[in-house]
Amino acid sequence: MKAAVLAHPASIASRPLEICDTPIPTPAPGKILLRVRACGVCRTDLHIVEGELKPLCGRVVPGHQIVGEAQDGSRFGVTWMGGVDGTCEYCRRGEENLCDSPVFTGYTVDGGYAEFAVARADFAIPLPAGLDDLEAAPLLCAGVIGFRSLRVAGVQRGERVGLFGFGASAHLALPVLRAWGCHVSVSTRGASHRNLAQTLGADWVGSERDRLPHPLDRAITFAPSGDVVVAALASLRKGGVVAINAVHLDRIPEFDYDSLLWGERQIRSVANVTRADARDFLQLASEIGIRPKVTAIDGAAVLRP
């Protein structure tokens, strides 16, 4: 089979991914072989290819948003969470997204930039029939993590929810919020992102400096900026929650406790996803018809929010 193999991380300009002929992998017990129908391309892939995420195994095939077909024709999605140990304190608590020894698809094990991929059978998520291959791919990373952010923020139906920053994840979370009857505000810098938010049915759209018309029940921040987290915090009602959907933040600036956090306001981070998040989100995405805008590049799906 053909696979895009990363042997030595390097600047993308030097083309570190090499298309190789490699044997079709043989699945070990508990694993399944998938014919890759599409694989999403994510910024984390770029971080892996360029070595910003330090290599954890020798050669690796990147790609962690795999839409694959098993031998019997059934379709599965494979996310960044390629497996967990099932035995650590967090797994035993049912918090597998926090597992101490996780397996990451396309990082610690081979991913989907290939004609075939092997996945742990219990981490291959059955894909609802309503989802098209290419459109399902970006749902498996940006979509699922955005959905988890809504859960971490504790969003309830009909609440006022603010999205701060409006990229891949946020634009897939917005239709979920609308389906739940939430009042959605979007604060974002770029005019094109504000237009997209408006098109997708946000109730209020503004720049990061604009004051929101009402205090929020929940806020989700998508920008890697601590200033945005503080802005989100300042927009909350008492008891409201800010969920941070960013792996890294530049810093958290000093802020006033009495006016911003007092009153049982909370700040929470969002780390990885559980299989339940993936299953529930894909089901919902199929029911409400979430259609990400993708650009197909020879079987890969690039999300264009």
Residues 6+ apart with CB under 8 A from 59: 5, 6, 7
44 sits near Zn ion (criterion: CB under 5 A) = yes
Residue 78: closest CA among 105, 114, 116: 105
CB of residue 228 to Zn ion, shortest distance in Å: 20
Q: How many residues bind Zn ion (CB under 5 A)?
A: 8
Could you tell me the CA-to-CA distances from 190 to 193, 196, 202, 206, 305 in Å, in that order?
5, 10, 15, 10, 12
**Could you tell me which stretch among 86-94, 117-125, 219-227, 267-275 binds Zn ion (CB under 5 A)?**
86-94
The Cα 287–Cα 269 span in angstroms is 28
CB of residue 123 to Zn ion, shortest distance in Å: 13
88 sits near Zn ion (criterion: CB under 5 A) = yes
In the complex with Zn ion, the residue whose CB is nearer, 141 or 242, is: 141
In the complex with Zn ion, the residue whose CB is nearer, 42 or 243, is: 42
In the complex with Zn ion, the residue whose CB is nearer, 43 or 214, is: 43
Q: Which residues pair with 68 in a beta bridge?
A: 36, 76
CB of residue 181 to Zn ion, shortest distance in Å: 29
In the complex with Zn ion, the residue whose CB is nearer, 44 or 235, is: 44
Phi, psi of 258 (to 5 degrees): -60, -40
In the complex with Zn ion, the residue whose CB is nearer, 57 or 129, is: 57
85 sits near Zn ion (criterion: CB under 5 A) = yes
CB 264 within 8 A of CB 239: yes
267 sits near Zn ion (criterion: CB under 5 A) = no
The Cα 129–Cα 262 span in angstroms is 47
89 sits near Zn ion (criterion: CB under 5 A) = no
CB of residue 70 to Zn ion, shortest distance in Å: 23
Amino acid symbol at 85 = D
Q: Which of 17, 38, 48, 84 binds Zn ion (CB under 5 A)?
A: 84
Query: What letters, b where the CB count within 10 A reaches 16 and e where it falls short, cover 183-194?
Result: bbbbbbeeeebb
Query: In angstroms, how far is CA 22 from the centroid of its own chain?
Result: 29
Task: Identify the DSSP state of 153.
Answer: H
CB of residue 275 to Zn ion, shortest distance in Å: 13
CB of residue 89 to Zn ion, shortest distance in Å: 8
Query: In angstroms, how far is CA 39 from the centroid of its own chain?
Result: 14
CB of residue 221 to Zn ion, shortest distance in Å: 18
- Taking residues 90 to 109 in sequence order and writing x for each that binds Zn ion by CB under 5 A, - otherwise, the string is -x-------x----------
In the complex with Zn ion, the residue whose CB is nearer, 111 or 240, is: 111
Residues 6+ apart with CB under 8 A from 209: none
CB of residue 87 to Zn ion, shortest distance in Å: 6
What the block records as the tokens of 142 is 């940006």
Among residue numbers 132 through 161, which ones bind Zn ion (CB under 5 A)?
141
Residues near Zn ion (CB under 5 A): 42, 44, 84-85, 88, 91, 99, 141
